[in-house]
Structure 1
Amino acid sequence: MAATASGVFRRTAIERSDQRVSWERADQAFFASGACHVLAWTCREFYPDQEIALAALYLGDFEHPLHVYARWGTWAFDASGWNLESELLQVNSDFEGLPIRQVETISSDLREFCEAHVHRQPHQYWADPTERARAYVRRYDPPWL
């Protein structure tokens, strides 16, 4: 699957206000916009023998990251599966019409990240998305295979 901008799947007002409606979206939409951080942490945990880092993508003047993904070398994993990181960054920049301000390596744990960036922790969703994220990670062969 080609890299797709996370903004393509931006949540509607009802999806932002009703966790169940947001939960019922297709997996790609759910993990592209609203649970990308959960997917990224799950990917890293899924491959403990690989050096997978986590990255936050900032565009324009946004205070909080637009998108979070896992990275391995020049590869990135998000709701589009494994793609070259450069392609993921470009499609997001093109879609938003804003330059990439920063890609930051995340060194905090998930709880700290969520608190700092106003993101939901897994227990704050309609249902915990962790198992759904594991199933999603399993769908995509990693680049090292």
Structure 2
Amino acid sequence: MYRLKPGIKTDPKRRWALPDRIFFGYGACHILAGVYLARPPLDGFYAERIVPKDGFAGNHIFVTDGAVAFDYHGYSARRALLEHHMAGWAAQYDRKWACRIEHVTFDLLSRSDLNARKMLGPDQYFSDPVARANAFINRIDHLVAYEKATLTL
């Protein structure tokens, strides 16, 4: 699991300079999910949120159709995404890391909805994360990637 150097998340320029996968994997996953859902390349997807127990880090938002998930890794089996995420965060703690998975019912591109959950709104980044997320999503052949992910179900 990748670990950001201290101070990057609090420095808008340094955070913006991260490669896309790290930027969307470590602090802007909600923007990627919100942009995906705003103009979905595939039908039937909704957002889910990994919410760690109190005292733990590891929040993550991704989109899924219930079997296949999409996040900064691209498409994967939802089960595999959850196992990878949970194992990575569990390794960071001496005590047992735990979380719950919840259906996202708030607007993933709304500053007020996001700030209420301690996440940045799209207008709070150094530059435009919505345009960056669109560019990231547009580089993918979604049908091919989705079908490849279904082979691992």
Q: Aligned letter for 2:99?
A: R
Equivalent residue, structure 1, for 2:136: 136
Equivalent residue, structure 2, for 1:5: none
User: Structure 2 unaligned runs (5+)?
Assistant: 91-95, 149-153
Equivalent residue, structure 1, for 2:103: 105
- Maintained 8 Å contact 2:56/2:97: no
Q: Which of structures 1 and 2 has the bigger CA Rg?
A: 2
The alpha-carbon distance between structure 1 residues 144 and 50, as it changes in their structure 2 partners (threshold 3 A), is farther
Aligned pair count reads 138
SS at match of 2:128: coil
Pick which of 98-107 and 74-83 moved more: 98-107
1:49 to partner: Cα distance: 6.6
SS at match of 2:116: helix
Confirm whether residue 28 of structure 1 aligns to residue 32 of structure 2: no
- Which aligned pairs between 1:1-145 and structure 2 lie closer than 5 A? 8-47=1-40, 50-62=43-55, 66-97=59-90, 98-110=96-108, 111=110, 112-142=112-142, 143=146
The alpha-carbon distance between structure 1 residues 49 and 16, as it changes in their structure 2 partners (threshold 3 A), is closer
User: Structure 1 unaligned runs (5+)?
Assistant: 1-7
Give distance in 1, aligned partners of 2:41 and 2:119.
Answer: 24
TM-superposition CA deviations, 1:96-127 (whole Å, max 9, x none): 11555211010111225412211000100001
- Maintained 8 Å contact 1:53/1:71: yes
The alpha-carbon distance between structure 1 residues 70 and 134, as it changes in their structure 2 partners (threshold 3 A), is same
- After superposition, the CA RMSD in angstroms is 2.2
SS at match of 2:87: helix
SS at match of 1:92: helix
- Maintained 8 Å contact 1:56/1:67: yes
Give distance in 2, aligned partners of 1:34 and 1:102.
Answer: 19
Give distance in 1, aligned partners of 2:37 and 2:13.
Answer: 26
- Maintained 8 Å contact 1:122/1:130: yes
Give distance in 2, aligned partners of 1:41 and 1:130.
Answer: 9
Equivalent residue, structure 1, for 2:93: none
TM-superposition CA deviations, 1:72-97 (whole Å, max 9, x none): 23111110001111000000111111
